[in-house]
Structure 1
Amino acid sequence: MRARSARPGPRPGPGKAGYTFLFAGVLALALLGVLVATRGAATDGPLAAGEPSGHYAEPEGVGDAAADAMASAVRIESGASGRPAARAADRGARRVEPLPPSRPLEATPREPSPAIGPLFSTEQDEPGHGCTASVVHSRQRDLLVTAAHCVYTDGFHTDIAFAPGYHDGEAPYGVWVPTSIDVDPEWMTGRDEDHDVAFLRVRQVGTDARVEDVTGAERIAFRPTADRPARVLGYPGDAERPLACQSVVRRESASQLRFDCAGLPGGTSGSPLLTDVDAGSGLGTVVGVLGGKDEGGDDETSYSSYFGDAVERLYRRATAG
């Protein structure tokens, strides 16, 4: 998982009297840890086995329940599903942003982008978000990409909802729930960090709208070249607005990309690495998603599984039919 490292300096010893309080404190923390672990297990959400191929078709009633839970947790603008946006394939001539590296090289707050939003977990007292996803172009105009560890942990998570452009408790482009989820079988069987990518096809309950028609969509690139300027935009787990950072996408290895930028905490897993960002629409080309090595990295460096042949096959499987 995305971890945040802390390196505190040396502290003076507690002294004899302090050890009594230290022991009591450690015992209390241990008991608290048991309670927290139990509470965490109870709110991890329901799981489904899916198919050995890595495909899961979500029953309609399951998605309807997730949408109902979101209706009481976020404000959904009336007419959100009818708001048109230029599709990635229709943008024509574009003016590409130069994307100079952020100074300092650290994520900072940024305005939401319509095609990017948090993935919510709805099987809790109150829905909360712990990952990010983005709309990518497909023939069916209903596709998201995120990290596999966001949607599959010993089973497919079935309490997922997507709120593109989310901010301050508002879902300006509506709430979308999966019709299917696809991960690589290498991720299912061994959490292979070189296959930490997932595609979701989504729908909006009660309408026949297609998410790409509402939000626009990023392009997706397979076998991308490295050493290119890029932007990451994603939602920390405790934030109501996204963070963004610009840096250079580099090759960490034959199967991994790296993106050096501080301040991308938990919740930004699945965020798109965007190149060739259009200055007008803010839409770009996804060359990776935060995940991969160490399931995303640490507070200084983020990673992505390389979008090579295996990810292209996964995309084609997800969009078949």
Structure 2
Amino acid sequence: MVLVIPLLTHGAQVTPHDSARSSPVKIRALLPLGSAIAATGLLAAGMAAPAQAAKPKFAIGAKMAKASGAKDIVKFWTADGGAHFKAAKSASVDWKHVPKIVSTGGPSADGRPTVIPAIGAEKKAAGKSKNLNLPKTTGVIFFVGRDGQEYFCSGTSIQSKYHNVVATAGHCAYDTDHDSNNLDAWVFVPGFYDGKAPWGVYVGKQAFVHYDFNVYEDYDRDYAFVTVYNGLKWDWSKDRAVDVGRLGDNVGGQGFAYNLPLGQKVLSIGYPGGPHPDGDRPFSGWRPKWCYGTTSGRVVAKEFKVSEQIAIKCSMTQGASGGPWLLKYKSASRLGYISGVTSLVADFDGNDRIDANTSPYFDGETAAVYKAAAAVWSGKLPL
């Protein structure tokens, strides 16, 4: 089960490399976290039109929730002024050993750089904005662990045939410790802010994860794409649920990009809530936070079977897990391309402060998992 874990305090070595070699630096902590653009813009930058993905190699999880029980899940989370939202802790993965980390070279693409446009951006270009407007697509994932405790991660709506898919970290959707994806009462709340659910609550139906994450707990494949039912809001004056429609119709859905070279500038967004290694807790998990960073390195962490993750400089802590790394994000449209999701955090300079986040490298196999989820219908809920 995905569990809150203590912070690592042991030292380890990391040697980051980008196109030019850099000196080894100290690392004190690595933790699994638990926070309209036209395609022509990227094509002009040397990216090819969508290429054929690698042969699918994914695991289809059993249903997270039956349609008949989804209404009760929404009522559970929103009852008593969202008391269960407030009780949730930032989620992470249980561990037994301190990982050693190095960074050498970069991951290998298995095809041409490829992009899939966001919902609403398929045929039009975005305007310009001087301010950073965070996307409506990003929100908080809540679920109940086997210990009965409420937990949270981050996630975002992504382009799909039926406008019903959430992208997140694999450990925020699938219980590798028990070989089951049945994380109880799993929901996604887009635009979550100070306990509010402005666009409704979306109950998870089915999680799609990579075979290697499912079977081998390989964090190079720590991503998941989850289909969700239509969103619900609870009308407490009449004690009944109200269908608010499909996720993508309400908040949009980010595009998807894979097989990208290192050196990409991305906007990472999440809901961090955990402390730094020194005990300081600057984030509440109740409001979205963000980092701009440039992808670099190849992170290796044996305890998580990681050999090809990528990293950016970022101080977000636990809770930001599953949050999107958005390429070519435009504030005017609030859309971009998901090119990664936050998986691990690290203290590179050894000062007991988180200063880096990592993501699995998105390649053709990632695209195969995503496309499998993107083609599945969820439907309405019985009210």
The alpha-carbon deviation at position 112 of structure 1 amounts to 5.4
Instruction: Please tell me whether residue 224 in structure 1 is matched to residue 260 in structure 2.
Output: yes
The alpha-carbon deviation at position 194 of structure 1 amounts to 1.1
Is the 8 Å Cα contact of residues 199 and 244 (structure 2) preserved in structure 1? no
Q: 1:172 aligns with which of 198, 210, 234?
A: 198
Match of 1:196 in 2: 222
Counterpart amino acid of residue 290 in structure 1: T
Match of 1:55 in 2: 61
The separation in 1 between residues aligned to 2:249 and 2:135, in whole angstroms, is 15
Residues 1-321 of structure 1 aligned to structure 2 (within 5 Å) = 4=7, 53-58=59-64, 59-72=66-79, 87-90=119-122, 92-95=124-127, 113-122=135-144, 128-153=150-175, 154=178, 155-156=180-181, 157-203=183-229, 204-205=231-232, 206-207=242-243, 209-237=245-273, 238-252=284-298, 255-261=308-314, 263-291=315-343, 295-298=344-347, 299-321=354-376
Partner SS, residue 163 of structure 1: strand
User: In structure 2, do the counterparts of structure 1 residues 127 and 119 end up closer, same or farther at CA, with 3 Å as the change threshold?
Assistant: farther
The separation in 1 between residues aligned to 2:127 and 2:78, in whole angstroms, is 37
User: In structure 2, do the counterparts of structure 1 residues 285 and 89 end up closer, same or farther at CA, with 3 Å as the change threshold?
Assistant: same
When you count helix as a share of all residues, which structure comes out higher?
Answer: 1
Counterpart amino acid of residue 207 in structure 1: D
User: In structure 2, do the counterparts of structure 1 residues 175 and 159 end up closer, same or farther at CA, with 3 Å as the change threshold?
Assistant: same
Partner SS, residue 330 of structure 2: coil
Is the 8 Å Cα contact of residues 273 and 289 (structure 1) preserved in structure 2? yes
Partner SS, residue 139 of structure 1: coil
Deviates further, 299-308 or 246-255? 246-255
Match of 1:15 in 2: none
Is the 8 Å Cα contact of residues 139 and 192 (structure 2) preserved in structure 1? yes
The RMSD of aligned alpha carbons is 3.1
Counterpart amino acid of residue 181 in structure 1: A
The alpha-carbon deviation at position 114 of structure 1 amounts to 1.1
User: In structure 2, do the counterparts of structure 1 residues 150 and 121 end up closer, same or farther at CA, with 3 Å as the change threshold?
Assistant: same
Counterpart amino acid of residue 236 in structure 1: P
User: In structure 2, do the counterparts of structure 1 residues 54 and 125 end up closer, same or farther at CA, with 3 Å as the change threshold?
Assistant: closer
Query: What is the CA deviation profile of residues 189-237 of structure 1, one whole-angstrom value per residue up to 9, with x for unaligned ones?
Result: 1210111010011122452711111001111112123202111111023
Partner SS, residue 276 of structure 1: strand
When you count strand as a share of all residues, which structure comes out higher?
Answer: 2
The alpha-carbon deviation at position 311 of structure 1 amounts to 0.6
The alpha-carbon deviation at position 113 of structure 1 amounts to 3.1
Q: Give the structure-2-normalised TM-score.
A: 0.59
The separation in 1 between residues aligned to 2:311 and 2:129, in whole angstroms, is 21
Query: What is the CA deviation profile of residues 56-98 of structure 1, one whole-angstrom value per residue up to 9, with x for unaligned ones?
Result: 22322343332111221557xxxxxxxxxx9343571124779
List alignment gaps of at least 5 residues for structure 2. 11-57, 83-117, 233-241, 274-283, 300-306, 348-353, 377-383
User: In structure 2, do the counterparts of structure 1 residues 308 and 125 end up closer, same or farther at CA, with 3 Å as the change threshold?
Assistant: closer
Larger Rg: 1
User: In structure 2, do the counterparts of structure 1 residues 98 and 225 end up closer, same or farther at CA, with 3 Å as the change threshold?
Assistant: farther
User: In structure 2, do the counterparts of structure 1 residues 69 and 229 end up closer, same or farther at CA, with 3 Å as the change threshold?
Assistant: same
List alignment gaps of at least 5 residues for structure 1. 8-51, 76-85, 100-109
Match of 1:105 in 2: none
